[in-house]
Structure 1
Amino acid sequence: MPFATIDGQALHYLDQGSGPAVLLAGSYLWDLNMWAPQIEALSRQYRVIALDLWGHGQSGALPQGTASLDDIARQVLALLDHLQIERITLVGLSVGGMWGARLALAAPQRINGLVLMDTYLGVEPEPTRQYYFSLFKQIEEAGTIPSPLLDIVVPIFFRPGIDPQSALYQDFRAVLAALPSERLRESVVPMGRITFSRADLLSRLNQLDPKTTLLLCGDQDKPRPPSETREMAELIGCPYQLVPEAGHISNLENPEFVTEALLKFLAERHSC
């Protein structure tokens, strides 16, 4: 898989398939492999681009001067320019939706369609922000995510009823446990602070095109509950769907439902 140098760092991405371009933007603490079921299905008809967030997967460190999600959106626009892709359908889950919406607002002429999944474009509620920041401080000081913290962090991403011995759960836990100190301190923790101190975008949601926007949310998502999705869908004026039997990483907990919803949305966007 190739790399592009953006703001002096190597951004790792996948570019698979041909046809109209679809950009998959994933969650904090996950690499682009979280999209494996969707990449396989979508790349049969579309050109699928997926990327590793800074400090995640095989991407380089968070570039110096990266201070906000607007900076991430600008960096991904630079990747699209590098790939000579004029227009995309952007599918953003969690932080991928947070910076993805910023990209769509900054460069609406580059967007064919926008799918926001398990995300929220308002500010982080202050008690939650302080809680996450306390976790970041512990990780920064330890230089690792110790087992007691893994027992807190890992379940956040899944529905309450998931089997903690399942491969999905255990593989994610193992990836987090293996993150090196330098990566945690220089990229992962700062990226988390950027994410959870984001500015409020709710007042701008009426600038998104309701005809080309869809919201999806796991029906058991704990960090980004369905109530937030309903609030945003009302502000945009667009449809939303709840993903059955799914938590925050809804595309992996119910991949068939999510893939079908995305294929239907893409077919509608490219039917004319």
Structure 2
Amino acid sequence: MPVVVVDGQPLHYLDQGSGPVVLLGSSYLWDRTMWAPQITALSQKYRVIVPELWGHGESGPLPAPTQSLDDLARQTLALLDQLDIAQVNLVGLSVGGMWGARLALQAPERVNSLVLMDTYLGAEPEATRAYYFSLFKMIEDVGAIPEPLLDVIAPIFFRPGIDRESALYQSFRQSLTTYPKDRLLHSIVPLGRLIFGRDDLLEQLPRLNAETCLVMCGEQDTPRPPAESREMAELIGCDLTLIADAGHISSLENPDIVNETLLTFLANHT
């Protein structure tokens, strides 16, 4: 994978295809493989860029200056600057949507269109914020993701009825065991606290261009339920598409519908 240095750390990214640029922003605890079906489909017509989150995939540790989601947006703009990319069609899932909306607000001239998937731009509800922070403390204390936590964390990302013996579930569960201690302590946990301790951006959503925005959500997304997506779509004034038979990582749980929706949207906005 190609790499650039941003804030003193190596940021790895996938760069595939040619044409108008589609930038895919990934979920916490996932690398570029969460977009595999979309990369295949979109790169036939577009240049697809997928940066790896800090501490994820092949990217380096969370840079010291990173204090907020606004910094993740700024760092992604730095990547685009180094690649001489003037404008992107941004598709962000989960935290990818959180920093993606901030990028669109910081530099609207750089974002041709914006798709917010399985994400929420309000503050994390207090109960879930406290719950996630308690999980981070457990991981920090042990220096690993303990075995009992694997089947607490992994199901969060999928529809409730997923077959836990399926390759999709098992491969993600296994990936959670591969983080070395230093990566957990210095990248994964602090990045998680940054994500779930985020500020509320809802009042700024009407500033986004409704005509070039789309909100998407898995119908069975538990951490980011459809009601949150409906609230955001109404604030922006844009369409909302619910993805059947999908939870949080809708890109993998119902890739055909996600691909069809993205290809139709991009065809009308590029």
TM range (shorter): over 0.9
| Residue pairs, 1:1-272, within 5 angstroms | 1-270=1-270
Q: Secondary structure at the match of 1:177?
A: coil
Task: Determine the C-alpha separation between the residues in 1 that align with 2:52 and 2:170.
Answer: 20
Following superposition, the deviation at residue 160 of structure 1 comes to 0.6
What's the CA shift string for 1:58-116, capped at 9, x where partnerless?
A: 00000012110000000000000001000000000000000000000000000110000
The structural deviation recorded for 1:262 is 0.4
- Aligned counterparts of 1:83 and 1:129: Cα–Cα separation in 2: 36
Structure-2 separation of matches of 1:2 and 1:48: 13
Q: 2: CA distance between counterparts of 1:88 and 1:66?
A: 23
Instruction: Encode CA deviations 1:187-229: one digit per residue, 9 max, x unaligned.
Output: 0000000000001000000000000000000000000000000
What is the SS of the residue equivalent to 2:268? helix
Amino acid at match of 1:70: D
Ranges of 4+ aligned residues in structure 1 off by more than 3 Å: none
Structure 1 stretches of 5 or more lacking a match?
Answer: none
Distance 1:196 1:176 in 2: 19
CA distance in 1, matches of 2:35, 2:219: 19
- The Cα of 1:25 is off from its aligned counterpart by 0.3
Deviation, 1:33, is: 1.2
Secondary structure of the 1:74 match is: helix
Q: How far apart are the structure 1 equivalents of 2:127 and 2:231?
A: 20
Deviations 1:148-183 (A, max 9, x none): 011100000000110001111000011101111100
Per-residue CA deviation, residues 8-59 of structure 1 (Å, 9 max, x unaligned), is: 0000100110000000001000001110000001001000000110000000
Q: Which amino acid aligns with 2:219?
A: D
Any idea what SS the aligned residue of 2:176 has? Answer: helix
1:205 and 1:38 map into 2 onto residues whose CA distance is 26
For structure 2, list consecutive stretches of 5 or more residues without a partner in the other structure: none
- 1:108-163 deviation line (CA, Å, top 9, x unaligned): 00011000000000000011100000000000111110110111000000001100
Identity %: 66
What's the offset of the Cα at 1:250? Answer: 0.4
Q: Secondary structure at the match of 1:66?
A: coil
Q: Amino acid of the residue matched to residue 31 of structure 1?
A: D
* TM-score under structure 2 length normalisation: 0.99
